[in-house]
Chains A and B, each alone.
Chain A
Amino acid sequence: MKSKYLLVLGTVSLIGLPGAVLAHGATVEYRQVQAIEIDATYSGGQPMGNAQVTVYAPNNPAKPWLTGMTDPQGRFSFTPDPAQPGNWEVKVRQAGHGDLVTVPVREEIALSPSKTKESASLSRWVARGDRDYASKTQQVLLGAAGVWGFFGTALFFARRKPE
């Protein structure tokens, strides 16, 4: 008895559902665009989650074109305006830490809206609290040279003075 009642109710709601959707007249279309994904991490490797992101378009580097926030994994993606090729600047900031990265958007990609599979793929740019100008090995070597410089200075001034 109880199960029959439930069945009837279910049928009624199924009939009612498409009508309700149609009544709103919503259309959702899609097209593929080239997006830029920002991956922000602290120098220790932790993601910069919920950091504030400001995007500046090439034609007006003073006025923010878009503002947003990274997700808890430190990611943020946006679609640059294809009519504005050039260097897009993305600033990521949280509690005074952060970085400014320049994302070059090339003209040929910008002018031909991406239809091919290749150009539709997500471009990834990495923003770090400390930018990787040099590789890890280079940094370690440079750091060791720096430390040796301090020790050299110490040894130079600590040398025995001629009587």
Chain B
Amino acid sequence: MHIPDGIIDAPVILVGGYAVTGGLTWFCLDRINRRERDPQSKIPKAALLAATFFVVNAINIPVPPSSLHLVLNGMLGVVLGYYAFPAILVALFFEAIIFQHGGITTLGLNGMIMGFPALIAFYLFRWRSRFKLKEPLRTKVFAFLAGAGGVMIAAGIFTLTVILTITSDLDAQAERQATYVALALYGIPAVIEGIFTMMLASFLDRVKPGLLEGTLKVGEP
């Protein structure tokens, strides 16, 4: 899901990716500043989950024809809330410079691909309070949806980006087909991450609900 350097020829797309990521970073930092009395207090949690994201992305699971890795962006959204976006961005930066996984020119684009769905997952998980369901079940269902949705939305944005940037020298149909196959294959990590997020959220909900970000208090932005 990480777009490497040199694959996208259109500078407009790369600059656009940086613009979107820059805007989202500002939005998240602004929200953190408004919501938190002490914005630094949640940095340890964000740093630890950024490390998790960084490590998990480097572990490849062979799924023919290519290989996949877990993303965990949905899980980061559920646990970190607005902190998820900057955490993902920092982890992506380190992946690009240490493992050449992704790239510096595509950092903005990759931040948008993986960070934006984390925010959506956070909002989705927060919406659960509006549904009348029995409590342990409600958190589980919404955590699963957030975890799996994070991956699938990211895969969707990735697919859209790849298809929009097919250069004229490529066999467009073959590339499109390969991309759709890849999109379908993301269903596998989506289910795994959905289950993982569900287990983690229901555990935290029982043990220390304060650690879950997606608990909406009245009057919060």
Cβ–Cβ contact B50 & A100, under 8 A: no
Task: Give the chain A neighbours of B207 by CB distance below 8 A.
Answer: none
Q: How many of chain B's residues touch chain A, expressed as a range?
A: 35 or more
A158 interface contact, C-beta 8 A:
yes
Cβ–Cβ contact B174 & A150, under 8 A: no
Cβ–Cβ contact B182 & A95, under 8 A: yes
Q: How many of chain A's residues touch chain B, expressed as a range?
A: 35 or more
Secondary structure of the B contact surface, majority rule: helix
State which of A11-19, A78-86, A116-124, A140-148 sits at the interface with chain B. Answer: A140-148
Instruction: Report the minimal beta-carbon distance from A56 to chain B, rounded to whole angstroms.
Output: 9
Instruction: Report the minimal beta-carbon distance from A62 to chain B, rounded to whole angstroms.
Output: 9
> Interface code B136-162, partner A: CB below 8 Å = 1, 0 otherwise?
000000000000000000000011011
In the assembled complex, the Cα of A79 lies from the Cα of B41 at a distance in Å of 60
Secondary structure of the A contact surface, majority rule: mixed
Cβ–Cβ contact A97 & B66, under 8 A: yes
Cβ–Cβ contact A130 & B101, under 8 A: yes
Instruction: Report the minimal beta-carbon distance from B148 to chain A, rounded to whole angstroms.
Output: 20
In the assembled complex, the Cα of A154 lies from the Cα of B80 at a distance in Å of 14
Cβ–Cβ contact B4 & A129, under 8 A: yes
Cβ–Cβ contact A93 & B47, under 8 A: no
Partner of B162, one of A42, A48, A96: A96
B216 interface contact, C-beta 8 A:
no
Cβ–Cβ contact A98 & B4, under 8 A: yes
Cβ–Cβ contact B175 & A93, under 8 A: yes
Task: Give the chain B neighbours of A46 by CB distance below 8 A.
Answer: 62, 64-67
Closest to A142 in B: B98
In the assembled complex, the Cα of A150 lies from the Cα of B46 at a distance in Å of 9
Cβ–Cβ contact B6 & A91, under 8 A: yes
Which B residues, 34 to 77, have Cβ-Cβ distances below 8 Å to chain A? 40-41, 43-45, 47-48, 50-51, 54-55, 58, 60-62, 64-67
Cβ–Cβ contact A150 & B47, under 8 A: yes
Cβ–Cβ contact B4 & A143, under 8 A: no
Which of A96, A147, A151 neighbours the largest number of chain B CB atoms within 10 Å of its CB?
A: A96
In the assembled complex, the Cα of A95 lies from the Cα of B158 at a distance in Å of 10
Closest to A47 in B: B65
Instruction: Report the minimal beta-carbon distance from A50 to chain B, rounded to whole angstroms.
Output: 8
Cβ–Cβ contact B58 & A94, under 8 A: no
Cβ–Cβ contact B51 & A95, under 8 A: no
Closest to A48 in B: B66
In the assembled complex, the Cα of A57 lies from the Cα of B108 at a distance in Å of 30
Instruction: Report the minimal beta-carbon distance from B192 to chain A, rounded to whole angstroms.
Output: 16
A139 interface contact, C-beta 8 A:
yes
In the assembled complex, the Cα of A152 lies from the Cα of B179 at a distance in Å of 39
8 sampled A-B residue pairs with Cβ under 8 A: A46-B65, A93-B170, A94-B175, A96-B179, A143-B54, A150-B47, A153-B47, A154-B51
A interface residues with partner B (beta carbon < 8 Å):
42-46, 48-52, 54, 64, 67, 69, 91, 93-100, 129-131, 133, 139, 142-143, 146-147, 149-151, 153-155, 157-158
